[in-house]
Amino acid sequence: PAPGTAYSPGFCVPAAHEEEIGVLIGRRESPICVWAPKRFGKTWFLNRVVQITAAKAPGTRVARVVLDLGSSKRQQAVPAARFCRNVLEVLARALGNGDPAGAVAARWDENASPVDNLRDVLEGLLREDPDGDRILLVMDDVDRIHGWDFAEDFLFALRLFHELAAQEPAWERLTV
């Protein structure tokens, strides 16, 4: 298939390392970052690993956040608050919330930073249904936020989510 074509298992040649990465994600040992040149198959690879992880961990729902931010020439394509709200709405939907925008708006604190809201709102959503399915947060094209005002804080928050999942019962359902 041509570059940019949607993932299709029929065109995928399985590799042993994909299985190993799928198992690592299932064990939540560490966040995984895939880095390669443009059009090298990272998104296909990511889709394949997500497929493997879901097969090996029944009850896992995937919250996929695709950062399709358009031209990388834009300095600040999306304000931090809107970006964090959008990520939270994807997560709320994956958690089974019927009104993701409403759930996020109800918990959003206008006096807190967007990244603090990201953490606090997500924790509230996770606490709503502590026995629900595991959520696998997959982010594609996350490198596009480098250079944005809040990029460092956002990436730190992702790492924090991983740490919280290992330490706090409310967060153990989340795999980053």
pLDDT tens per residue, range 11-62: 666 677 777 766 666 666 666 667 777 777 777 777 777 777 777 777 777 7
pLDDT per residue as tens digits for the range 130-159 = 777 778 787 777 777 888 888 899 989 998
The tokens of 150 are what? 């809040």
Give the residue from 23, 30, 33, 21 showing the smallest Cα distance to 57: 23
Residue 174 has φ and ψ, to the nearest 5°, of -100, 130
Helix (H, G, I), strand (E, B) or coil at 61: strand
What pLDDT sits at residue 43?
76
Cβ(121)–Cβ(108) under 8 Å?
A: yes
- Give the mean model confidence (pLDDT) for residues 84-107: 90
